[in-house]
Amino acid sequence: ELTEAVESYKDKFESVKIAEPLLGEVGSDATVINADKAAVAEAITAEAVKTAEYDSLDAVAADSTAFVFMGHGTSDEAKISYSQMQTQMEKLGYKNVFIGTVEGEPEETSCESVIAKVKDAGYKNVILRPLMVVAGDHANNDMAGDDDDSWLSQFEASKNFDSVKTQIAGLGEIDAIQQLYAAHTKAAMDAAVKMTVRHLGQRAKRQNSRSLMRKKKKQQKRKRQKLRLKMEPIQQSLKRTVPCFM
């Protein structure tokens, strides 16, 4: 949708480039992961562990505590990214880290599904944290609010856990996430510069080719002029010559 919106204004700018999203390219299914997803998974988990004042994720697990990162969710095909993030957590060995979404799309990320997963995994304590760049309305209300439908209230109402706590902080506050955004932006800018240089090079090549053609034509014209100057005396002499017949 963002790309389509920007596309409609492309005639207003000389050039518009869109960088890779935070989680990188969206794969075809839940098993597809990449370096960006790994970097984000490591960064947000490390920050959550630090904020909870544990020495390591293993120490968190030993305390029967699980982290639940709540994203927004979407009905778009890109929703597979949340499932991929769960796969990424598992690939990293983060068994006590779970991914959920406010919208409950994909279905396995709904609050009910995540509660069941955490319960089945045997964890008795839960720490909820937003998987969003900014900790705004969704984090403060949908996740940590007092209403019955908030994630905090639903986890507590399930009676499956001894404690449910929240961490209110957006991804944008994490230095490693900032660096990843900066790297994606730089990559887009470098690609744009490279394309511009290539375009200018091609234009210069065309201009140089046209210039060489003009130069060649001028040289040919000068040769013809010189030849004409050489031939003029001979032509004049031939005109003055009177034929003699024996």
Give the active site residues.
72
E-assigned strand segments in 51-196: 65-71, 97-101, 125-130, 163-166
Question: In the 8-state DSSP scheme, what is residue 140?
Answer: I
| Angle separating helix axes 35-51 and 175-240, nearest 10 degrees | 150
Q: Can you read off the two tokens belonging to residue 152?
A: 């905090």
* Burial class (CB within 10 angstroms; exposed 0-12, middle 13-18, buried 19+) of 154: middle
SS3 230: helix
- Residues 52, 64: contact at Cβ < 8 Å? no
Give the distance, in angstroms, between the CA of residue 228 and the centroid of all CA atoms in the same chain: 67
Q: Can you read off the two tokens belonging to residue 218?
A: 């001028």
